[in-house]
Amino acid sequence: MRHYHQSVVNPFATTLGEEIFQAGLLPSDTDFRIFRDHGHVPGLDFDFMTTDSPIILNTTNLMKFLEEPFKTQEITCLLWSIANGKELEDPEPYAEGHVIFYDVCGWFLVFYTKTVGIALNYTFSVIGLIAITASVWSMAKKCGQSNLTVAKNFGIIFAIQLVSVLLAIGLNFAMAAFMDAVGSPLVWYGHPWALFGLYVCPTLFGLALLPSLYLEHTRKEILSLNAKSQLFAHSNCVVMILFTIIGTAMGIRSSYIFMLGVLFHTICIILNLLTMFQNKQFLWIFWNIMSQILPFLYFAYLGTFLIRTLIPMKGRGGMSGNPEIHICLLCFVFTWLATGFLTPVLYLFKMTRTITLNKIISENKNLILNEIGEDCKNEVLCKFPFFNHRWFKNRNSAYYFKAETQPKLPYFPKLTLKNKQTSSGKVKYEFQLTGPHHMGIFLAPVENSKISSWTFNTTMLDKNWKPPYFMYMSWGVDSSPYEFFVELETQSSNEPVLEIGIGGHWIFEPELFTEEYKQFLGLFPKFV
């Protein structure tokens, strides 16, 4: 991160994104992970994001990327800095440890070690609690009530605020479950604006409902509306302190986002105490709003970019998780962080305590879905040429659209049996394959046969994966035939022992797309 900080003028990095990826919530594996995990080859994994969506590098958009000088210049400077860094001379001292890092709206990068992060989180949490205690004491002194009386009121308000936060989370989860139940998940995939109605509004509703009811029913009590509104802001800070402490204790480095919320509200409290605005009607609002400008901008910036990054990526996750839950949780967190200390200001206005509900209408497309496996029980994978391992892994829960118009392909993949060798209990086939630049090989041994060896990586055989097996292959410039062998253990070499399927894909030839297929693609966002 030190090299990144020194080399990149406009940083775009966050620990939260790193931990989301490490938790498996961001399905963006690249070849880098294969080299790192299986080949133990170190390196750097680069990705970039345009104003439209995250981009996976291919030949076309790689050239567009390289045509933008500021990007290549920053990457070149970063690589040069790392290559000449002292870390490569003796990497052992730097082999372990984590860093907390985040950019501030692309202006500058903040980073520090995990140990420093733990100290900061606990320190600001303690300072925040001290500041809140001083504020409550000052409030009790001003209204002429005992500290115990005001503390009891603060305890009630804190409980209401804590329940409100949990209610907001519950409403979002309920909305996500409802969208799944009615068969309309991922409505936001093509219409990101729908997230505001689906998850942002329920968050605001959940956060404001109970406080609004409480203030309406306690208008004639000793504490003024100003005091109660400030106590709700303080109680929100205490909830964030709890999240900060619990997250830090669990080793979650992304807890820094809650620490930032605590930090800026603590600054607000201190300024209100120093200027004595706290006990003057409405003047405390000035420092409350001023102290939330930077946090609001940062959390809105970070939340927007994370959601815009996750939306396209969630289309790749298959059945590995429920994207509706992930997105709704992310919307809750950043809505709460951005508005949690601003909503108490709105409690001062009676009109804002009137709740209105809006209905969101989503557009439905009339498409006939067919389940895979309905009419192809006797074929290897129903003759479906799955494109990659994600499609293959999710095949039992997949659907397809039957094409009325077949594309006119220039040629088909060609598989040639070059040689067959038999020995006691074994048979070995040698093949030659030619075809387009993306192909899939599907292998399924028949009954009483077992694949014992082949040209490919042996992980599937060593770990006894259940057939059929799938191999994905692609080529760029070199289109020479691909040769491979498959060896099987069998009781009889004269009987069929292996079913093999070949799938070919033409993905860079738009002239082969049928009108029906083009219309189908038009139903999806541009990044698809």
166 vs 190: CA distance, rounded Å = 29
- 249 and 322 assigned to the same domain: yes
Q: Which of the four pLDDT bands, split at 50, 70 and 90, describes residue 220?
A: low
Summarised one tens digit per residue, pLDDT across range 467-513 is: 888 888 888 888 889 999 999 998 776 778 888 888 888 888 888 88
- 349 and 484 assigned to the same domain: no
pLDDT of residue 77: 83
Residue 259, C-beta contacts closer than 8 angstroms, at least 6 positions apart: 120, 121, 124, 125, 244
Residue 225: pLDDT above 60? yes
Structural domain contains residue 523: no
Summarised one tens digit per residue, pLDDT across range 392-427 is: 777 766 667 777 888 888 888 999 999 998 888 889
Residue 353: pLDDT above 70? no
Summarised one tens digit per residue, pLDDT across range 77-110 is: 888 888 888 877 777 777 677 889 999 988 889 9
259 vs 239: CA distance, rounded Å = 11
pLDDT of residue 518: 86
State both tokens at 123. 């320190």
Summarised one tens digit per residue, pLDDT across range 199-208 is: 999 999 999 8
Model pTM score: 0.73
Write down which residue in 406, 431, 457 finishes a domain. Answer: 406
Structural domain contains residue 520: no
- 393 and 423 assigned to the same domain: no
Write down which residue in 331, 363, 395 finishes a domain. Answer: 363
Write down which residue in 72, 96, 113 finishes a domain. Answer: 113
- DSSP-derived secondary structure letter, 486: E
pLDDT of residue 30: 66
pLDDT above 90 coverage of the chain, percent: 31
- 349 and 377 assigned to the same domain: no
- 54 and 165 assigned to the same domain: no
User: How do strand 414-423 and strand 426-434 relate by DSSP bridges?
Assistant: antiparallel
- 430 and 353 assigned to the same domain: no
- 108 and 119 assigned to the same domain: no
Q: Which of the four pLDDT bands, split at 50, 70 and 90, describes residue 241?
A: very high
Structural domain contains residue 182: yes
pLDDT of residue 18: 83
Across the chain, mean pLDDT equals 82
Residue 20's domain comprises: 1-113
- 337 and 378 assigned to the same domain: no
pLDDT of residue 46: 67
Stretch 156-164: mean pLDDT, rounded?
94
Structural domain contains residue 69: yes
- 97 and 184 assigned to the same domain: no
- 214 and 297 assigned to the same domain: yes
- 220 and 315 assigned to the same domain: yes
- 263 and 347 assigned to the same domain: yes
If one counts the domains in the chain, the total is 4
Count, in order, helices (H) and strands (E) of the chain.
19, 13
